[in-house]
Amino acid sequence: MLTISGLTKRFAGRTLFADVSLQVNRQDRIGLVGPNGAGKTTLFLLILRSESPDDGEITFERNVTVGYLPQESAPVGGETVLELATAISPDFVRLRRQVLAWDAGHPSESDFHDNTHDRFNQLGGYLLEAKAKKILAGLSFRQSDFNRPAREMSGGWVMRAHLARLLVQEPDLLMLDEPTNHLDLEAINALNQAIQKYEGTVFLVTHDEDLIEEAGTRIWHFEGGPTDFHITDHKGPYEEYQQQLALAAK
């Protein structure tokens, strides 16, 4: 799915990592672990092409879709919580609004066409909306929250709604940067189950060791410093990775 070849990134006089080459396969669930400032979020930004490497390249298989939940606040406009959770594409958002207006008995003739319902159903339509409601409930939203404007809610709840959108969308590569920061225990358990069932590939940066242990299948360990980090790839669960660290420390 994704190939990292000879990747080097320097920042403010530091080499975050040098000549990194890694292969990512479909259905990998990779936990990125290491100290703050080691380059985990920077690697995310390189994969997203928001940053450019100093050397090397990152290549994707054709038509791979990517979803990203940042560690900091994500944007929100005038949409409701449910609209945000179902915003899998601009086309779907537009069609959903047209269909709901039609169902309410006041469509705009200028933007409603005979095939609107057909196109809406082709994209998942009402089934996708039901899926979004289930995911939102798992993330501790109440049913009364679904039609609330998202901007009325705290930043933590907005992040949950964005997380719900990604779980509804199901991109080929799901990138989560500290997703448990704004979650209670019930919501963390729901996220854990969602990651374990996820059919795509997951990159997970989190200090929640239990989540990595239960959901991860592979560990990228960022180690070194203070001016030079490198990435060690452990192909196995977190428990095995910890055992190897303990043996190496003896």
- In percent, the amount of the chain with pLDDT more than 70 equals 85
Q: Is the pLDDT of residue 105 over 70?
A: no
Give the mean model confidence (pLDDT) for residues 24-50.
90
Q: Is the pLDDT of residue 3 over 80?
A: yes
Q: Is the pLDDT of residue 102 over 80?
A: no
8 A C-beta contact, residue 196 and residue 215: yes
Give the mean model confidence (pLDDT) for residues 101-117.
61
Q: Which of 69, 77, 58, 83 is nearest to 2 (CA)?
A: 58
Any idea where the domains of the chain sit in the sequence? Answer: 1-65+171-250, 74-169
C-alpha count within 13 angstroms, C-beta hemisphere, residue 86:
27
Tell me the two tokens of residue 86. Answer: 């179902």
Q: Is the pLDDT of residue 244 over 60?
A: yes
The whole-number pLDDT of residue 249 equals 66
Q: Is the pLDDT of residue 228 over 70?
A: no
Q: ∠ CA 178-182-186 to the nearest 5 degrees?
A: 105
pLDDT digits (tens, 9 = 90+) for 116-138: 666 666 666 778 889 999 999 99
The whole-number pLDDT of residue 110 equals 46
- Check residues 87 and 111 and name the one with the higher pLDDT: 87
Give the mean model confidence (pLDDT) for residues 189-217.
92
The whole-number pLDDT of residue 54 equals 94
Give the mean model confidence (pLDDT) for residues 76-93.
82
Q: Is the pLDDT of residue 111 over 60?
A: no
Q: How far apart are the first and last CA of the chain?
A: 37
The whole-number pLDDT of residue 30 equals 95
Homologous superfamily assigned to 1-65+171-250: P-loop containing nucleotide triphosphate hydrolases (3.40.50.300)
Under the banding of pLDDT at 50, 70 and 90, the label for residue 239 is confident
Q: Are strands 201-205 and 229-234 parallel, antiparallel or unpaired?
A: unpaired
Three-state secondary structure of 63-116: CCCEEEECCCCCCCCCCEHHHHHCCCCHHHHHHHHHHHHHHCCCCCCCCCCCCH
The whole-number pLDDT of residue 247 equals 75
pLDDT digits (tens, 9 = 90+) for 147-176: 999 999 988 899 999 999 999 989 999 999
Mean pLDDT of the chain: 85
